[in-house]
Amino acid sequence: MGMTMTQKILAAHAGKVTVQPGELIEAHLDLVLGNDVTTPPAIRIFEEAGLETVFDPNKVVLVPDHFTPNKDIQSAEHCAKMRRFAKSHDLDHYYEQGEPGMGVEHVILPENGLVAPGDAIIGADSHTCTYGALGAFATGVGSTDLAYAMATGKTWFRVPDAIRVYLTGQLAEGVTGKDVVLHLIGQIGVDGALYQSLEFAGPGTEVLSMAERLTICNMAIEAGAKNGIFPVDAKTVDYLKQYAPQRYAEQNYTIHQADEDAVYRQTITIDLAQLRQTVAFPHLPENTRETGTFEAIPIDQVVIGSCTNGRLEDMRLAARWLKGRTVAKGVRLIILPGSQRVYRQALEEGLLAVFADANAVISAPTCGPCLGGHMGILAAGERCVATTNRNFVGRMGHPKSEVYLAGIPVACASAVLGRVAGTDELPD
Amino acid sequence: MNIHGKAFKYGANVDTDVIIPARYLNTSDPDTLAGHCMEDLDPDFIRTVTKGDLIVAGPNFGCGSSREHAPVAIKASGISCVIAPSFARIFFRNAINMGLPILESAEAAQSISTGDQISVDLSTGRIVNETTGETFQAQPFPPFIQKIIEANGLMGTLKQD
């Protein structure tokens, strides 16, 4: 029986020729990630177990990004605990606020050249699945798994079945990778891919940019998936050449292809050309509707950024739709470049000036508002359009607030019009 | 291991943001977390839960964030077991890794109501609704997972090695 891409990567990391869906394996890991929410409990577990060393100081990555810049004393203590651990274990990849490589974890790991095709990565953050965009296997775990993996460089997996998502055609103007993944989640539901891989395939994959692939894989978890993964093509290799030049030069990566006779639970075909700008209504990412199909919904806030849509391409797209426009009276637009690198480049390209001219708040790179942590919390009854990834009850603040998930163009149009809207509703 | 308590019944897709809202994630103290468990979904939960009680819910329980604080909060609140037709995969791992028993049973999840007295034999997966007299059979864990449970969680297996 043929194997999927995911199954091949898992087999390679378990020292096996083949694996079967449902099989329990122990896999070696290429990278282990934690953030300031999940790492402090992992450090406690690590130390309570009497462990003294990490398996490889070059392969344990710690990123303070959720409650940073430190929101309050408790957050500061959490971050300090992580900082001390990173220092005492001589970790190569700890990214302090303001350093060139700092930012939101799933924005910076690919940017800092820490992800390559064929890698097996776990992170104590559910959106670790983002890295499937580069043809890697990456999935989220909790703090105990993080502690165990920091010590051993290994973890256990149940080999997943897969859903094949076959993409054809090209996206229409103003339609983005976010619309692709929202459409997919709307179709299969928030548990539609539970315990399974989402394996993207077909000619449509090649027309999507790396930023769009990262956005799509980022939200695989919102369909319950273990991971999302794209085939490796010329764009992937170009990305590697730019961001991981050493691994590119040393050819230190492996391109796995799904076997032609790989078995999938189902195949879902999506013609990209048929997709329209899509919004996920409260309180589940599966509650999707296309713009123009609902009554006016007034909003109070718009958030642009996050591990889903905080990359340079997202900032450029936001500037394209905000240029020469201003935010509607009574609406707060908060823009968070996803990393220091994105921030600096946005500065150099004049994008931040466009945002300031549009009356946006420009924030430091942080996960803050996405999880209702800080930097943009909603009051009771307030509504927000966000380019983030979750719209659960209370996700961005008060349990009686509402989050509408969308791509960058819809977020910009909504900010300008003061209601949930597509770009075709903007005046010329 | 036998469990006995009253059921708290919830719907589908109970996410980790309602189990423990992110605004409390700047602590990892189990008792502090337990004090806010389920508060955005059921503010009465933490006032009425007693040690040994069970949560019974719809499919995809624990979806969303990877925060281990969610099963930690549930366990520290006194809940002894969660029964649902399916669990989000990271929650599933986290619950096993830190020793919160969970059982998959669509029939039990559908049939049990809030307030029913439930008993569970974890070694056999047998669930009894003592209020209605109904019994249900859940799949016991596979041997690999049983080894982790017997070691009192994943870190216990490391000590054994």
The letter for the amino acid at B13 is N
Asked if B154 lies within 8 A of A66 by C-beta distance, the reply is no
CA-to-CA distance for A310 and A157, rounded, in angstroms?
Answer: 30
> Which of A38, A226, A393 is nearest residue B18 as measured by Cβ atoms?
A393
Asked if B67 lies within 8 A of A37 by C-beta distance, the reply is yes
Chain B contact for A250 (CB, 8 A cutoff): no
Residue-by-residue DSSP string for A173-237: TT--HHHHHHHHHHHH-TTTTTTSEEEEESTHHHHS-HHHHHHHHHGGGGGT-SEEE----HHHH
Please write the tens of the pLDDT for every residue from A291-348: 999 999 999 999 999 999 999 999 999 999 999 999 999 999 999 999 999 999 999 9
For residue B143, pLDDT beyond 80: no
Chain B contact for A151 (CB, 8 A cutoff): yes
Contacts A71 to B, Cβ<8 Å:
26
CA distances for A346 relative to A164, A319, A341, B24, angstroms: 36, 9, 8, 33
CA-to-CA distance for B150 and B161, rounded, in angstroms?
Answer: 14
Confidence band (pLDDT; 50, 70, 90) for B158? confident
For residue B142, pLDDT beyond 80: no
**Mean predicted lDDT score pLDDT of chain A:** 97
Q: Exposure of B121 by Cβ count < 10 A (0-12 exposed, 13-18 middle, 19+ buried)?
A: middle
Which range (A6-15, A415-424, B1-10) has the least confidence?
B1-10
Domain locations along chain A: 5-270, 276-425
Any residues with CB less than 8 A from the CB of A427 and at least 6 apart, and which?
A: none
Give the residue-averaged pLDDT of B78-95: 96
Tokens of B84: 């649902």
Residue A314's pLDDT is 98
> Which of B23, B27, B86 is nearest residue A194 as measured by Cβ atoms?
B86
For residue B135, pLDDT beyond 80: yes
Asked if A141 lies within 8 A of B18 by C-beta distance, the reply is no
Percent of chain A with pLDDT over 90: 99
Asked if A148 lies within 8 A of B158 by C-beta distance, the reply is yes
Residue A115's pLDDT is 98
Architecture of domain A276-425: 2-Layer Sandwich (3.30)
Asked if B153 lies within 8 A of A48 by C-beta distance, the reply is no
For residue A110, pLDDT beyond 90: yes
Among residues A328, A333, A334, which one has the least CA distance to residue A419? A328
For residue A107, pLDDT beyond 90: yes
- The reply to whether ipTM tops 0.85 is yes
The letter for the amino acid at A55 is F
Give the residue-averaged pLDDT of B137-153: 78
Any residues with CB less than 8 A from the CB of A236 and at least 6 apart, and which?
A: A117, A134, A135, A210, A230
Q: For domain A5-270, give the CATH superfamily.
A: Aconitase, domain 3 (3.30.499.10)
Q: Do domains A5-270 and A276-425 have the same CATH topology?
A: yes
Q: Which residue of A366, A395, A400, A405 is the best one to mutate when testing the B interface, meaning the one whose CB has the most B CBs within 10 A?
A: A395
Chain A contact for B15 (CB, 8 A cutoff): yes
Please write the tens of the pLDDT for every residue from A184-237: 999 999 999 999 999 999 999 999 999 999 999 999 999 999 999 999 999 999
For residue B150, pLDDT beyond 80: no
**Mean predicted lDDT score pLDDT of chain B:** 92
Residue B160's pLDDT is 58
> Which of B40, B88, B90 is nearest residue A399 as measured by Cβ atoms?
B40
State how far residue B134 is from chain A, nearest Cα, in angstroms: 28
CA-to-CA distance for A16 and B89, rounded, in angstroms?
Answer: 24
